[in-house]
Amino acid sequence: MLAGALFAPAPAHAITFTSSAVPVAGDGFGWPSGLGVGDFDEDGRADVAVALQSGELSILLRDPSGQYGHGPGSPHRLDEHGGGPLEVADVNGDGHADVLAYQSQPSSSTVAVLLGDGDGAFTPAPAVTAPGAYGTMALGDVDGDGKLDLVLAVETGLGSRLAVMRGVGDGTFGAPASVDVALDGAVPSAVALADFDGDGKLDAAVAHALVTVGVVTVLRGDGTGGFARAAGSPYAAGSGSLVLSAGDLDGDGRVDLVVSARSASGDNRSVTVAVLLGDGDGTFRAGPPGSFVTPPALNPVSVFALPLGDLDGDGRLDAAMPLGETAGVWPLFGDGAGRLLSDAGALLPGAWSYNAGAIADLDGDGRLDILATSPLSPARVLMYVNDAEPAIAVSSSAAELGSRQVGDPPAGATVTVSNPGDHGLRLTGLAISGPDAADFGATGCTDRPIPAGQSCDLALSFAPPAPGARSATLTIASDAPGARETTVALSGTGTEPPGGGDGGGGSGGGGSGGGDGSDGGSGGGGGAGDGSGGGGGGSGGGGGAGGGRSGGSGGGSGGGSGGSGGGGAGGGSGSIGRAAALRLTVRPARAALAPGRRLRLTVAVRNRGRAAVRGVSLCPRVGRALAAGRCVKLGRIGAGRTARRAIAVKLTRRARPGRRYVVRLVARAAGSRAIAARVVVTARR
């Protein structure tokens, strides 16, 4: 077990790796120069390609037990000797991973192309002749035709140049089109393609070796395969820059650059990284100081690779820095501000002199691992498998959301989800089930990982459509091993708003209103109700219809649900009495709908009172997987009148087949409580 530690402004946590070595077949003392990862036999497992300076390419296939062995025909003999980077991509559009290996020579260079068959075997395609000697390459669609192009940064007799070879789409490339822009250093050592200025077109950045001061040239792409020097380029970055990587190191959504550099003291036995933060317009500025500096080695060291990836699962880019002339790989952890941090105890030991590196998920556990090459006889690929794991804990296994009146805004509460593990935790889904699932909601924490040792609050909501106790179960899905699903019991109680609901049928009517200037009459008592409901109680009906100083004394709330007549609605002088006179119905009350389809609801709001009601609004309330329009103003509804509206509701494609979703329709008069009805929508399978 090999240990590495994270030391950052956030609380530190340990990450452990398990190392293994896989021999690479070659001629004698093979010197690896390129490394790539892809699923070459399409079995869902990560395979590895390694190019040697002796002119051989090994394809290492991972078996179900996690062991690696050579694929059919491996090692493949290439046309030329010489080292350079390796790219894995589908260059002929057949859906299989192909491999391109740059073979750098003092006088001329070539790019070997091997087309994957999808079963681990490869068929050689015509090699590409580079228009120069030493150099490097990258793949990307620089002319926007949907085919991968080959971008070369090479040393020519006229200095360093960028050349573009357009992909034909069958694994071959057109003649090199030299970009008439001189690069700003000696031998190009790395090229990266990314959209630096946010215009949707690929740009290029080139680092140079054999220079006293590190130099990075930035070129803006025009979308047709042409490039021009960007404003502010070149940039001084590090010294003797050999490697270059592009990625968003500070989390602002813009592409940054990171290169290897000497320490500030100039001691060539120590190295660090220099970061150029992108401004999103094609220009860059120096990143913050304070990135990790390796302890001095016995001899001068160089960096031959600087792959980026999120090693600790906290949502920030990290890096792996394998060093030449020393025995180890340094994991560097991003702090989210543009620094890459580590600790003297984080070195992953291994064989002498690393030449290439990569970050990939080798074992399929969702956590990124580190690969590096070593030129011992035979050459080897060293694999550092990430042993860190997330864990999940919740602050409570039950959440009581209390009492809430029907029609009121949802009640809120929180449940804290924490990660006591040593790797970032991702919540992959939130689902609420149970008889009253539609009455509860849960949001948050799914848009970003929860770093090790940190926590996040889930926001809970409760909006009962009717009085009574309600319950459901929240299921939190995560990538925590052994705890893929964690449940929280949800509960709450709906209460009747003031004024009550429809009562049992009382036969007695309220007294008639007084004339102008007089009080409203007192109402009659409620009679016995028909059917199963009890009689309406209370002393009398609503206020008088005339313009008296005050309304009637107010009726009692209705009794049972089955009476024939209308029970008295509670009300003193004003708005609550008027609101309770409204009755809301919606058709259909239930529907089955396919995800992505719309449902037309017919909503009726009837004023059963004796006076007009003003300022009436109708609002659809929907939860997850449903979509509806905005509130509708119904305005004035006269006594005994009904206002009708059509409301469209859409069941989105996020809906799970067989699950029920609820639409709540809420009507409210100006200055009064709301009334509600609901529709249950079942997603069709």
In tens, the pLDDT along 634-677 reads 888 888 888 888 888 888 888 888 888 888 888 888 766 778 88
- The pLDDT of 395-422, averaged and rounded, is 92
What is the pLDDT at residue 523? 39
Quote the mean pLDDT of the chain: 81
pLDDT at 185 over 90: no
pLDDT: is 287 or 578 the higher one? 287
Contacts of 611 (CB under 8 A, 6+ apart): 545, 578, 639
- The pLDDT of 119-126, averaged and rounded, is 95
- Report the C-alpha gap between 207 and 144 in whole angstroms: 25
- Report the C-alpha gap between 625 and 629 in whole angstroms: 14
pLDDT at 551 over 50: no
3-state SS, residue 158: coil
Q: Where are the beta strands (DSSP E) in 195-232?
A: 203-208, 215-221, 227-229
Nearest to 47 by CA among 57, 37, 56: 37
Residue-range domains of the chain with CATH: 2-386 (2.130.10.130), 393-495 (2.60.40.10), 500-573 (no CATH), 581-683 (2.60.40.10)
Contacts of 282 (CB under 8 A, 6+ apart): 196, 197, 203, 218, 220, 230, 231, 232
**In this structure, are residues 521 and 544 in contact, taking their beta carbons and an 8 Å threshold?**
yes
- The pLDDT of 80-103, averaged and rounded, is 91
- Report the C-alpha gap between 546 and 550 in whole angstroms: 10
- The percentage of the chain sitting over the pLDDT mark of 70, rounded to a whole number, equals 81
What is the pLDDT at residue 370? 96
User: What φ, ψ does residue 364 adopt, rounded to 5°?
Assistant: 70, 25
pLDDT at 168 over 80: yes
Query: pTM of the entire structure?
Result: 0.71
Residue 412 CA, distance from chain mean position: 25
Nearest to 291 by CA among 498, 8, 486, 48: 8
3-state SS, residue 578: helix
Residue 306 CA, distance from chain mean position: 25
Burial of 231 (0-12, 13-18, 19+ CB in 10 A): exposed
pLDDT at 186 over 80: no
**In this structure, are residues 568 and 558 in contact, taking their beta carbons and an 8 Å threshold?**
yes
Strands 56-62 and 76-77, bridge-based pairing: antiparallel
- CA atoms within a 13 Å half-sphere pointing along the CA-CB vector of 240: 15
Amino acid, res. 616 = V
Amino acid, res. 665 = L
Contacts of 555 (CB under 8 A, 6+ apart): 510, 523, 526, 536, 538, 539, 540, 541, 542, 567, 568, 569, 570, 571
* C-alpha dist (Å) from residue 41 to 10, 46, 370: 41, 9, 21
Under DSSP, the state recorded for 240 is: S
pLDDT at 529 over 60: no
Tokens of residue 478, six digits: 């995560």
pLDDT at 313 over 60: yes
pLDDT: is 579 or 615 the higher one? 615
What pLDDT digit, counting tens, does each position of 483-519 carry?
889 999 999 999 987 654 443 333 334 333 333 333 3
Burial of 298 (0-12, 13-18, 19+ CB in 10 A): exposed
pLDDT: is 452 or 653 the higher one? 452
What is the pLDDT at residue 500? 42
- The pLDDT of 214-229, averaged and rounded, is 92
pLDDT at 467 over 60: yes
